[in-house]
Amino acid sequence: MTTVIGWIRGRHDVMREAGMAGAERGPRERMVFSAAQLIRREGVGSTGMREVAAHARAPRGSLQHYFPDGKEQLVNEAVGWAGRYAGNRVARFLAALPEPTPSGLFSEMVRQWTDEYETEGFDGGCPVAAATVDRARTADSTRQAAEAAFTRWTGAVAGALADMGVPEERSRPLATLMISSLEGAILIARAERSVRALTTAVRELGPLLDAAVTRPATDGGTGEAAGS
């Protein structure tokens, strides 16, 4: 698998470049990726299948071929993709930190969003959040996909916290708190068209996170955050 870095911020022009060069991704994955892109901007309800195909520069006929269960399947796979992406990204954040601390990790997680908002505007949100808001009640398979995405993401963060010396019984709750705060701050940031809520979260939550470290960090371990 080639680098997934930066794909979240890529649009179709970037995608075409990445698609033409190097190991070509099939139209199927392009459609899943495009679905995630569109969903996180417009929500599930306002994202049409024809629109996904066009965005992915994939033939419309491929929709029924690759996703015989229709939109629900496509949405579920987009959510799954987003969950894997977020989970894998944690390991990358850790690698980028000179010396890993909980607040440093959280700061990196938030910075991904402030960077995007400052360079590309406030159009995008989290596709998992969008799927939850739009489909949690009506499509249980989508709700499960969102649950799995949050679980994977939380597991990656919790594993990272544990490696930093956060006791086991607090690593998962703190990971959940980090993701909760991040998701809510994303919401507020989009509504306000300002990164204020995001920077506030990292500033106010940082000390609390670092205070949870009770023993020295395990040196090797980013293993838990690794994904496929």
Partner DNA sequence: CGGCTACTATGACAGTGGTCATACCGAGGG
Partner DNA sequence: CCCTCGGTATGACCACTGTCATAGTAGCCG
Could you list the residues that contact DNA (CB under 7 A)?
26-27, 47-51, 58-65, 68, 70-72
Q: How far apart are CA 192 and CA 212, in angstroms?
A: 31
Closest Cα partner for 7 from 79, 75, 66, 89? 89
Minimum CB distance to DNA, residue 70 (Å): 3
User: Which of 77, 134, 163, 224 forms a contact with a copy of itself (CB under 8 A)?
Assistant: 134
Q: In the complex with a copy of itself, which residue's Cβ is closer, 54 or 136?
A: 136
For residue 24, the 8-state DSSP code is: P
Q: How far apart are CA 211 and CA 198, in angstroms?
A: 20
Minimum CB distance to DNA, residue 177 (Å): 34
Minimum CB distance to a copy of itself, residue 61 (Å): 26
Going 133 to 123 to 102 to 217, the CA torsion angle's sign is positive
Structure token digits, residue 93: 């954040």
CB atoms within 10 A of CB 41: 14
User: Which of 59, 118, 137, 223 forms a contact with a copy of itself (CB under 8 A)?
Assistant: 137
> Per-residue contact track with a copy of itself, 86 to 125, x per CB under 8 A?
------------------------------------xx-x
Going 77 to 79 to 83 to 85, the CA torsion angle's sign is positive
Residue 114, amino acid: T
Report the first-to-last Cα separation within the chain, whole angstroms.
Answer: 9
Q: How many residues bind a copy of itself (CB under 8 A)?
A: 51
Site for a copy of itself in 27-56 (CB under 8 A): 41-46
Structure token digits, residue 148: 């799995």
213 binds a copy of itself (CB under 8 A): no
Q: How far apart are CA 155 and CA 161, in angstroms?
A: 10
Q: In the complex with a copy of itself, which residue's Cβ is closer, 27 or 40?
A: 40
Binding site for a copy of itself (CB under 8 A): 41-46, 122-123, 125, 128-130, 132-138, 143, 146-147, 149-151, 170, 173-174, 176-177, 179-185, 187-188, 190-193, 196-197, 200-201, 203-205, 208
